[in-house]
Amino acid sequence: MKKIRIYQLAKELDLASKELVEFLNDLGADVGNHMSSIEHDIAEMVREHFAPAEEDFANDRVETLRPEKIKKRDKKERAEKTTAPKKKSRPKAAKKPKAAPERFISIPENISVRDLAQKLDVAGTEVIKGLMKIGVMASLGQSVDYDIAALIAAEFGAQARPERDLAEQIFEEEICDDPALQKPRPPVVTIMGHVDHGKTTLLDSIRETKVTASEAGGITQHIGAYQVEYNEKLITFLDTPGHEAFTAMRSRGAGVTDIAVLVVAANDGVMPQTVEAINHAKAAGVPIIVAINKIDLEAANPERVKQELTEYELVVEEWGGDTIAVNVSALRGEGIDELLEMILLVAEVEELQANPDCPARGTVIDAQLDKGRGAVATVLISQGTLRVGDAFAVGNVCGKVRAMINDKGNNVQEAGPASPVEVLGISGVPEAGDPFVVVKDEQTARQVAAIQQEKQRERDLSRFSRVTLDDLFERIQEGEVKELNLVIKADVHGSAEAVRSSLEKLSTDEVRVKVIHQAVGAISESDILLASASNAIIIGFNVRPEPNARKAAERDGVDIRVYRIIYNLLDDVKAAMAGLLDPEYKEELLGRAEIREIFKIPGGVVAGCYVTEGKVTRVSQVRLLRDNVIVHEGKIASLKRFKDDVREVVHGYECGIGIERFNDIKEGDVIEAFIMKKVARTL
């Protein structure tokens, strides 16, 4: 029997999608969001629960609130009540609760007694008496919470529902679900698997490009979305990181995908992150295609892989199961065509459809702040068509589409369902995984963003109120429970989320890791102020501190640690928590130079620089920064003043710097000179 999506069932039952998702999760059905699908028999159980049981539920609540008190109250009414409204309002709730048509009213989290009475269309004194019966004393001007208001509403024959604000209405509204307007769309495929099993190489082989070499440590650290064409049909691929530290990113990728391709190396078999990927795909309810990679190696054993997969309820078709398995060699390009054919076959069976003619909706795959282009978000369109000029709300920011760039780097005027595009024209950097929705105008978009920002502020205040200001090392000496407060800054949201998730998993009974703030961009002076006030350590992932921030950190004694590889970050934090602070080599910044001109020479290029602070020495190591993001680290090949080789150049002088085996230098880049000194660790 065909599955049904949550939002379709919610609309049929006249429920909010969020409410139905929570109900199903409480029952033990693991559903992610309103786009998740459930089996037909589960849907029938839900229909039975909400259709006939709803009236009984409302009436039961009336009876449980008033079974014995009605008689007592009736006696009192005969003797005491003299006003007309009281005589009219009481019998309505008590005499014929089942015959009265069921009413629904929307109630906010907190509502005044006067407003509740207006919504119920009864006198305020009646509501006050109803509150007194359940032990709540409140006047007309005082407020009660949703739960209490819902009980009072039930007593007066009304079914309460949480009132949705404009943002909730827009993000949860489904306007693209008319079956008559649905058209086939490309499948969205997520490539998952264990680290070093060849996920990115497989995607490279499909796209016939190479990106692995450009990633630090050879590990994919950001989610990328790409489209390829095969047999005149499009397929959208999401490249999720393979290291287990990036669980949050992979989980987000599975949330928007239609098909999961599980890459397993034929020589290694099923590994811990392979199991994790299987669980994510199953939780998302998506079909799994197994790509058994590295079959060209001598140690390859595809049959052993198939055997190990059966332990996780993945039985391949040739063994009588329903899991498709394809032998591939990403390095040699073998089996790629068969894999793409299987993807299209599964997509055809799934009958993937979307309405391209409604206002666009989608999900943010990743986002970052670009110095030249401002806030940029990679959005995967799920419904509708996004066009240049559309106003939109995304997370707690908004904007108007100024430009769109597809995965091939070309500007496009519109993007349909299952298309990944970079969107420019956003007021701020959204969170990865945020819902993206087109609204009627910019004013509405700003209103939605304001509501979401207020909610975010409330969440932040709630979190910061629990941050300890006690000195970490004093508590260690006293033997109390210790907390390691951290501020995380990263180049993109996906990395920030992954770093936070990884660090929080390091918490033990004795030491807790608490991330008090995370954001995208260079380490700023405000980060130093927060870290100083909270006695926190700042972790920078692929970003550098601004000059003012570095001076503030030295002044306030704030420890800043910058990393490019997550292994090193986790090792340092683990060692600090365990107290294994052995001496190590620590970076000492010598100076900074701004590149003002580029000179081409036979052996490469030389950067014409002006030393803005400190000094640059011939023996120092250098780091090239572009928009405060690390582009390259290496050694100085040459250091000249005019035509003379020199040992060092100090602040206020110009010089020529050549970087060993690196020529991708641009005007405006910054060169940082540093040396590594052996010092005692103080993390």
Give the active site residues. 196, 199-200, 243
First to last CA, the chain: 58
Q: 285: buried, middle or exposed (CB in 10 Å: 19+, 13-18, 0-12)? A: middle
DSSP state of 179: G
Give the closest residue to 55 by CA, choosing from 8, 14, 97. Answer: 97
Give the DSSP letter string of 236-269. Answer: EEEE---SGGGHHHHHHHHHT-SEEEEEEETTT-
Q: Quote the CA–CA distance of 624 and 619 in Å, as a whole number.
A: 16
> Which CA distances in Å does 574 have to 18, 65, 95, 253, 342?
38, 55, 68, 28, 43
Give the closest residue to 399 by CA, choosing from 364, 433, 371, 365. Answer: 364
Determine the residue type at 543.
V
Contact 217, 565 (CB under 8 A): yes
> Which CA distances in Å does 402 have to 251, 409, 414, 493?
30, 15, 11, 22
Contact 193, 270 (CB under 8 A): no
Residue 598: CB atoms within 10 A of its CB come to 14
Q: Quote the CA–CA distance of 51 and 365 in Å, as a whole number.
A: 38
Q: Quote the CA–CA distance of 590 and 620 in Å, as a whole number.
A: 8
Helical residues (DSSP H) of 215-373, grouped into ranges: 247-255, 272-284, 302-309, 336-350
Tokens, residue 667? 């005007």
Q: Quote the CA–CA distance of 345 and 658 in Å, as a whole number.
A: 54
Residues contacting residue 340 through CB under 8 Å, at least 6 positions apart: 206, 228, 230, 231, 235
User: To 5 degrees, how large is the angle CA 413–CA 414–CA 418?
Assistant: 145
3-state helix, strand, coil in the chain (%, to 5): 35, 35, 30
